[in-house]
Every structure is written in C-alpha cells, then in structure tokens.
Structure 1
Amino acid sequence: MTASSSPIIFLSGAGGGAPDLNVFRDGADDNTRIEVIRYPDWRHYVVNQLSADTLIKELAEQILAKVPQGPIRMVGLSIGGHFAYGIGLHLRARGREIAGFCAIDSFMFVSIAPSAQWKKRALEQGFELLRKRRFGEFADFLRSKFWRAWIRLVGDRLPLFLRALASARWLPSVLTSDPVVEGELSMRMLVRTTAPWLADLDRTPVPLEVPAVLLRTALAQGDDAAWRLRCPNIRILEIPGHHHNLFDPENVGALHEAFIAATEEWRAGHRVD
C-alpha cells in the first residue's frame, strides 16, 4: 500500500455508526479514504464471552485488514479514542508504525453507572432537539432513553438474560423490529465489557509516544492530565459544543477546522489530491 492510498481509521463512540466523514477531509478535493471500524453486536459478547483484551485484538485485526502495510492513522470519537490508544499500543508491540492519533472528546470513566447530572443533560438534549424541530430524532431519542432505563433496571442480570435470548429459537418481536433496542443492547455490552479495562489503563499508563491530538469540550478539561500520561506528546485543543452535538451544524465547522489544523503534519503525506 502506497502512502497516497493509506486511509484514516475511524473508531466511533459506543453507539457505533459514524458522522459525516467529510469533517476529516481538507476540502472537496481531498479524497482521503476514511475506514470505519465496526463494533460487534450484543450476541458476540454473550455467546463468545468476549473480553476487552479480545475485543481490542479483533478491532486491531480489522485495522490490519484495511492497512496491511505502512503507517497507521487513527481517529477515535468518545470511547473510540480509548480504543485507539489501546490498539495503538497493541499494534506498536507488533511492529507497526502509528503515524498519527486523534481522540475526540474521549473523557475518562471507570464505571458503567450513570454519570453525575445525567438527567439534567438528557432533558437539555431532548429540549434542544425540540427547539431545532428535529422531531424524528426526538422520537428516536425517547425510545433510546426508554430502553436504556430498562437495561439499567436489569442490571447485572443483563448478560444472563441476553444469553438466554441468544440461545432461543425465536426472539421477541421488539428485538427484530426496533434497531434502537438492538443498538442500546450492543452499546451496553460494549461498555460493560470494557469498563474494567479502561480503568486499568490509567492505573499504570503505558506511554504511546506518537503524534497525538485530543480535541475536547470544556466539560472534559479535567481529563487532560490523564491523557498526557498516556500520550506524552499530545496536543490538546478545546472545541465548542457538548458531547452530543459536536457534529451539529453550529459546531461541526469548528471541529473540522481544529482537526485539519492539528493533524496537518501526519495527514500531509497521505492526502490524495
């Protein structure tokens, strides 16, 4: 693989999916490929009893399939930033070069319990969608919050419950007809599986000495010191907005400009004009 054909690897937040990937390109004439890494669904966690270490290895194998040789560049959103750090350590140990790494609003967490003031933030997010008249998104938001609350009520019994579902000959119609509940279950199993691993990362952080950037909102400022322990060369820039609306029209322009400016050096040799 030549330098000009090397993609940028994107690791999403816990919910999976990807935003408009043009935010990571420098204008209409930049044809850089951006490859999205897929997270497993809830069945993979419960049927195969997937561990965090195995997950990182599986994600790394996806990246190696997309970049079989040459330098690797990664962008991680939210929990994807933590995965990119862990994958970077794993791939460097295997002799691969990590030429660039960018984490976007990847705040630290050590528990799967709801964060402080989550109700207040959820209300603000819901009212924001109504104010912008994004009614379809608001309906999805309500369904998501309903299923998330139900999953939290199930608590530690969730893996056992899902294991029974996975072995059943038929699934409840809600699981086959509503992608929101599928997404919430997969996200919850991803977070449950990786939360202890994430906590261990910062007990004895291993330096990833590569060109690194953290683009974060003001709320995540308290995690700067932890990121500097992980990546001694990291450059940290504050971006406007909140965690849930970084890619909304009022904030995506600033995110784009910050990303392009901060990553210019490690993108320069791999741009396709």
Structure 2
Amino acid sequence: MSEDEETNNYSSSNEETDDNSDKELNDEDIERQKIRDNLSTLSFEELIKLKEKLGAKVYNETVYGSKPNKDKSQKEFKRSNKNRPREISSKIRPKRVGKLIGNNSSSVTPKSKKFVPRDPRFDTLCGEFDNKSFKQNYKFINDIRQKEKDQLDKEYRECTDPERKQTIKLLKQRIENQLRENEKIRKKKEKEENDKRELREKLKHGEKPVYKKKSVKRLESLVEKYEELKKNNKLQKHIEKRTKKMKLKDKKIMKKTVAI
C-alpha cells in the first residue's frame, strides 16, 4: 500500500470518528431537551424534591450537561514551600528611590539619612494658618503664664537679692502685659462676634441693619476703656500719662518748627 493511500484512509477514519462524536453530541442534546421539556411541566416544589432525590451533581449534569474538562496542559504556578517569597512580576515598575515629598526644597526624601529641619510657618505641607483654631488649640498657654506669674509673685516676696528682685519684676511685668494684651484681643473678638450676631438677627426679623463707622467704633472703644479704668481706679494715672505723652509730642513738634 502506498503512502497516499495510507494518508487517505487515516483522514477518512478521522472524519468518521468526528461524525460519530457529533451524532452522539446531537443525541445527548436531544435527550437533554426532552428532559427539560418534561421538567418544565413540574412545579417548583416537585423540582426541589427531584433535585434532593437525585442529588445536585446528577441533576445539574442531566439538565445542564457536564462541565468541560479543564485543560491539563495549563500549569498552576505554585510555590514549592509556603515560606518562600513570591516572585515579583517583571512588568511592575519599581518605585523611584529618593522621590521628593512636595515641591518644597526643604522637604525630606524618604531614603535620606540626613535630617533637614522644616519651618512649619513657611512650609506648604503644614497647611494654611488659621488664627482662630490656633488660639483655640493653644489657649492653655495663658494658664501656664498665670501659674508662672503666681510663682514669680511668691519668689518676689521671699527674695532678698535686689538684682534678682529686679529681674523678677521685669518678668512679672512682661507676663502681665502678655495676659492683658490677650484679654484685650479676646474681648475685641467677642464684641465683633456679638455685633455680627445682632446684624444677623436683624436681617432675620426683616429689619434694616445698621453698620457702624470706624470713627463710631473707635469712640465706643475709648468709652469702654475709660469706664474700665474708672472701675479699677486707674483713670487719674492714665490721664497723667496721657498728658505727659502729649506734652513731649508737642515739644518735639516745636523743636522741628524752630529748626525750620
């Protein structure tokens, strides 16, 4: 027998087997369709009972057909030992080393060993300055200053060294000025908030709001200041200081005019 005849016979046999397999598949599909048609007449409860009787696996195979076999040629890549590290894909780009945080030149690199100090007042990474939240967060400093003042008062009473007494006096004066200034700012802010609240209330009730001029506000603040001084019996002292200051100012102006 020649080689051509052998190849023809082999191809014909393959075709026959393919045809037979196709016929078998078609027969299975027809049978499965008949089963589905029969099952469609059953109620849902009867279907559940049938599934429980046959089993889920057999039921699914008869109705939906068997699952296709997995391709055994496809390898499963697993580690031979679970404690070994996983292999990193070569497609993943490695991270950049020494990437700067932000645009600021004073920023610290992640891998840098040298410590570069940053000033939070001028660094964009620290956000914007909010005076209200700052005062709220650091209001405990006034309490610390008050405690320091009390300690200095006690030390001043017990101290006998005149030089040390003078330094304590200066420290006390500085703390008192700081506390007084903070209290003044607090009262001013509180007054502004009250004025704004009053304006909002007027607008709610349909009244026309009255916005005070700067000159009126200045007069009101002066009146409040004088009333407070009068209450603390410091008005006379304040007037004397004020007159002395004005006299010195007038003297300077007179000297300038004479020189001209």
| Alignment TM class, shorter chain as reference | under 0.3
Higher relative contact order (CA 8 A, sep 6+): 1
| Larger helix share, 1 or 2 | 2
- Structure 2-normalised TM-score? 0.20
Rg larger in structure: 2
Query: When you count strand as a share of all residues, which structure comes out higher?
Result: 1
